[in-house]
Amino acid sequence: MRALPTDSIDSRGGPAEAEQAPHARPREASVWPRALDTGWQCLSTRAGACASPADWPAEGWLAATVPGTVAAAWRDAGRLDIGHPPPLQQDDHWYRVTIEGDRENGGVRRLRLHGLATLAEVWLDGVKRLDSDSMFVAHDLDIALEGRATLALCFRSLAPLLAARRGRARWRPRLVNPPTLRNVRTTLLGHMPGWCPSVEAVGPWRPVEWLGDAPHAFDTVDVATAVEGDDGVVSLTLTFVHEQAAAARAQLACGGAQGALAWRDARTLAGRLRVPGAERWWPHTHGAPTLHALTLQLGDETFDLGRVGFRTIEADHGDDGNGFALRINGTPVFCRGACWTSADLVTLAGKPDELAQWFALARDAGMNMLRVGGTMVYESDAFYRLADEHGILIWQDFAFANFDYPADEAFIASVTREATQFLARTRRHVSLAVTCGGSEIDQQAAMFGLTPEQREQPLFTQQLPALVARERPDIRYVTNSPSGGVWPFGTRAGITHYYGVSAYQRPMSDVRRSDVRFAAECLAFANIPDDATLHDGLGTIHCHDPRWKAAVPRDPGSGWDFDDVRDHYVHAVYGHESARLRYEDPQRFLDLGRAVVAELMTEVFAEWRRAGSRCGGALVWQFQDLRPGAGWGVVDSLRRPKSAWHALAQALKPVHIGITDEGLNGLDLHIVNETAKPLAATLELLCLRDGAVKVAEASRDVDLGPRGAHSVSAADLLGRFFDFTHAYRFGPRPHDVTIATLRERASGDILAEAFHLPEKRALERHDLGITATLEQSSAGWQLVLQAQRFARYVYVADAHYVATPNWFHLVPGRARTIALTPASGAAGRPHRDAPPEGEIRAINAVATVFYP
């Protein structure tokens, strides 16, 4: 069987972008595209200095990687300061490479350019062959060539276009600079001051490749899947570069089923294959993300067409018609995760192994959805393949945000081509669940006071949904994020961006009052990285250092930043003034700032996941940082989890227990079982005074069916009065902490834990009696921790290792094993030779414990 070095095929006919074969003419012809990815050079010139390749200077060329960007070439050459990047879109940039014709096929070869950012020209031996004005559109170019030639790509300055006005906008957002970017089909990354470094996207950011040179070379491989009854259905349309003289017998195989394909014409094979009783693909939180191998038998040859999955997706709008939730394979799924930014801001793609690490971090945090917002880009085939494999749903905005976009015929035609290509390219990927017209477009207009009629854009209400219905009827379309209700950003209807707790500095009670139906964004904080990243990546632990402040996100025009948001909650929750802690006790400032974010993440998701909540999902803003520092990401730019990630890893587990404070009614314990198996567990309740003395305890067996949820009153579980929330205040507070533990009944293993402190401000420090035992096994290093007194937010800090879990509460007398995984250093080098050596802190500990 002829197989690709990958299990994913680009629907336009090539292997997954990041895993193509090297560009070297093999001894035998291939049906698959070959990447044109070596031998490139790039040159930057003043805008208009070179009208054509004939005007090139001899000096100044840099080695360049394709796919890649000018910024990436500068970074490789040591010329890029990401903190102060040059305005690349002010200049022209040239790429060149020597290519060779195909004598065996009369010299005619087809070149496929998957993405050129942004005003691009394609030249062959000094003759211009193509113009492109969108970085989101792919182009084919047939080249007749028998000998050698110079292929050149020119990326013209955007400055003249951005300086020109094309029509009058009904509103002008502050987020993006300049506002005339509304007219240009390019990413807004690099144009959002306060959000990310101003690294502008210029260059061949997607692959350039030759289509195959075999007589039966593939042009496009278009695969779609569906579910009919209990069966899976695969549809294939395969086109060839050249007409096929003899119609070879063709057969498709998947999941043990086989079926014949038919020739539509001399260049097109098509057919459908039914796979009886095909096992479904699930988000990893609810089942196995099962994929099935797909192969093509063409004459005497067999080709690996990658893997496909089968699933159904429905939108559930609730009894009142105002909600939004997803049903996968008929099962309600609470969608939780984060908003994706970029694996690498410079290349806009990231390496395959780095992408795999990001997806592993998302899966291990219990996330089952990532949203790619309209301010970003359409992600790569490798991204979608990994989402399929890891069982993570993708919400992909079309690349629109904030603006009042043009409605002229040329703009709409360009967008139609862009959207159609994206939907066709991702048609085979079951992970794509939701597409959305864009980010905060309707919100911007509404906040400027426009009525629904004044702010409507047919692009989002008519044209894009029609394209989605035609190209991807298996996924859901959302007009905008946020959208729904009288105010598109209201919380009780449709999709919202919930920043009540976080940017708007509302108390926890606002979460229930807001009655969020689906939060496509939420919980934005300047999340502080761990000590190692602050030292290695940022170079300082002091938050008033210019290096720190440069990395803190802020909304343009506001008199505050997201450091201020986090610090507000340090005072509101713990009663400490961050301004004093910064200079009196910098380490405590860092630790309380990390702890409070973990606290809020845990409590908000406990509220949204409880039985009775109408929330269908929530996506944290954001998944990863784009540079070292206290950014929005729950994972830092060195791929080290922050305290928020560790909190989410507990709060988002498929088998989960959460606690909500019900005031005079005490505490409610909420048990969730999202798995396909019944849950036979024991629920334990324990209240401690002085962090060690048992003052109340109870237990009960709990049986919960598959995909079930159940709430239990702590008062009912205990069977007598106990002031769990210290709401009645009959004398001194009777306890410090309530601990709810869910154990598997058969094994006694802990499945989930939850904690409630009636007075979070009681942060007196004590000798907690923490002990640490360092152990090494065939699986690696681990720490076994124990405490004599309840330890709040235990933090294992190791310069060379990442502790998992981390930022957790430690119950006295209950040993906890912590895995220590080698971390990557600032230069990406694993410190695998260094043994673990670090310290253990807790926010209520009087002293630090060191190990080994």
Mean pLDDT of 55-72: 96
Residue 107 backbone class (left: φ over 0; alpha: ψ -120 to 50; beta: rest): left
Is the model's pLDDT at 303 over the cut of 70?
yes
* Tens digit of each residue's pLDDT (9 = 90 or more) over 811-841: 999 999 999 999 875 444 445 567 899 999 9
Amino acid at 107: G
- Strand, helix or coil at 763? coil
Is the model's pLDDT at 18 over the cut of 60?
no
For residue 149, name the pLDDT band (cuts at 50, 70, 90).
Answer: very high
Residue with tokens 């928020």: 644
Mean pLDDT of 722-747: 96
pTM of the predicted structure, to 2 decimals: 0.95
Mean pLDDT of 731-752: 96
* Tens digit of each residue's pLDDT (9 = 90 or more) over 487-523: 999 999 999 999 999 999 999 999 999 999 999 999 9
76/66 Cα distance (integer angstroms): 13
519/565 Cα distance (integer angstroms): 19
Q: Which pLDDT value is given to residue 515?
A: 97
Query: Is residue 254 a contact partner of residue 295, using CB atoms and an 8 Å limit?
Result: yes
Amino acid at 321: G
How big is the CA angle at 411 (ends 68 and 455), to the nearest 5 degrees?
A: 115
Instruction: Note whether 34-210 and 771-851 share their fold.
Output: no
674/283 Cα distance (integer angstroms): 11
Mean pLDDT of 254-274: 96
Query: Is residue 602 a contact partner of residue 524, using CB atoms and an 8 Å limit?
Result: no
Q: Which fold has domain 34-210?
A: Jelly Rolls (2.60.120)
Q: Which pLDDT value is given to residue 832?
A: 56
Q: Find, among 88, 91, 42, the residue nearest to 67 by Cα.
A: 42
295 exposure class (CB count in 10 Å sphere: 0-12, 13-18, 19+): middle
- Strand, helix or coil at 373? coil
Instruction: Round the average pLDDT of the chain to a whole number and report it.
Output: 93
847/839 Cα distance (integer angstroms): 10
754/759 Cα distance (integer angstroms): 16
* Tens digit of each residue's pLDDT (9 = 90 or more) over 771-799: 999 999 888 999 999 999 999 999 999 99
And the tokens for 768?
């907690």
Amino acid at 81: D
Q: Could you tell me the CA-to-CA distances from 386 to 390, 711, 762, 806 in Å, in that order? A: 6, 35, 44, 26
Q: Which pLDDT value is given to residue 189?
A: 95
Query: Is residue 517 a contact partner of residue 613, using CB atoms and an 8 Å limit?
Result: no
Torsion of CA 290, 350, 375, 563, to 10 degrees: 100
Query: Is residue 442 a contact partner of residue 455, using CB atoms and an 8 Å limit?
Result: yes
Q: Which pLDDT value is given to residue 498?
A: 98
End-to-end CA distance of the chain: 53
Mean pLDDT of 25-49: 87
Is the model's pLDDT at 26 over the cut of 50?
no
The dihedral sign for the CA sequence 514, 516, 521, 526: positive
ω into 805 cis (within 30 of 0): yes
Is the model's pLDDT at 296 over the cut of 90?
yes
Architecture of domain 216-494: Alpha-Beta Barrel (3.20)
The residue length of the chain stands at 852
Name residue 606's beta-bridge partners.
none
Name residue 693's beta-bridge partners.
689
The residue that leads in pLDDT, 546 or 19, is 546
Is the model's pLDDT at 25 over the cut of 50?
no
138/419 Cα distance (integer angstroms): 11
Q: Which pLDDT value is given to residue 537?
A: 86
Q: Which fold has domain 655-756?
A: Immunoglobulin-like (2.60.40)
Q: Which pLDDT value is given to residue 145?
A: 83
Count each helix (H run) and each strand (E run) in the chain, helices first. Answer: 17, 44
Most confident of 14-23, 280-289, 825-834: 280-289
How big is the CA angle at 794 (ends 339 and 605), to the nearest 5 degrees?
A: 35
Mean pLDDT of 690-707: 96
DSSP structure class, residue 401: B
323/490 Cα distance (integer angstroms): 12
Q: Find, among 538, 426, 532, 414, the residue nearest to 471 by Cα.
A: 426
Mean pLDDT of 288-305: 96
850/841 Cα distance (integer angstroms): 9
Q: Domain spans of the chain?
A: 34-210, 216-494, 655-756, 771-851
For residue 106, name the pLDDT band (cuts at 50, 70, 90).
Answer: low
337 exposure class (CB count in 10 Å sphere: 0-12, 13-18, 19+): buried
Q: Which pLDDT value is given to residue 102?
A: 63
The dihedral sign for the CA sequence 53, 59, 63, 68: negative
Mean pLDDT of 103-112: 75
- Strand, helix or coil at 791? strand
Q: Which pLDDT value is given to residue 825?
A: 53
The residue that leads in pLDDT, 248 or 561, is 561
Name residue 225's beta-bridge partners.
234
Which top CATH class is 771-851? mainly beta
How big is the CA angle at 325 (ends 600 and 317), to the nearest 5 degrees?
A: 125
DSSP string computed for 182-235: GGSBS--TTS-TTTS------B--S-EEEPP-STT-EEEEEEEEEEETTEEEEE
510/247 Cα distance (integer angstroms): 66
Please enumerate in sequence order all residues whose Cβ is within 8 A of that of 318, keeping only pairs 6 or more positions apart, or say none: 325, 517, 614
Query: Is residue 502 a contact partner of residue 565, using CB atoms and an 8 Å limit?
Result: yes
